[in-house]
Structure 1
Amino acid sequence: MTRPITAGVDGTEESLAALAWAAREAVRRGLPLRVVHAWRAHEALADRDTQRGWVADGVAEAVRTVTGAHPELTVATDVLEGDVVESLVEAAATAETLVLGSRGHGAVVGFLLGSVGRQVIAEAVRPVVLVRAGDRPAAEAAGRDVVVGQHGGPEDSEAALGFAFEAAAARGAAVRAVRAWNLPPVFAYSPASLRLLDDTGGLEPYERRALAEALKPWRERFPEVPVAEQLELGSAGQVLLSAAGRAQLMVVGRRARRTAVGARIGSVAHGVLHHADCPVAVVPHG
Structure 2
Amino acid sequence: MTAALKVHPRVWIGLAIYVGYVAVVFLVQQLSGVPYTDLGESGRNLFLGAGLSLIIAAILLATTTTLLGWWRPALREQRRSVRWPIIAPIIMVVALLINLASTDWASYDGAFFAASIVLILVGFTEELTTRGLLLTSLRSTLSEGWVWFLTSALFALMHLINAASGQALPATLQQVGFAFLGGTIFYIVRRTTGTLIWAMVLHGLWDFSTFAVLHGTPGAFAAFGSIVYIAAGVLALIFVPFVIRGADEKIGSHA
**Does the alignment reach a TM-score above 0.5?**
no
For the aligned pair, the TM-score class normalised by the smaller chain equals under 0.3
Q: Which has the higher strand share?
A: 1
Point out which structure has higher relative CO (alpha carbons under 8 A, 6+ apart): 2
TM-score by length of 2: 0.26
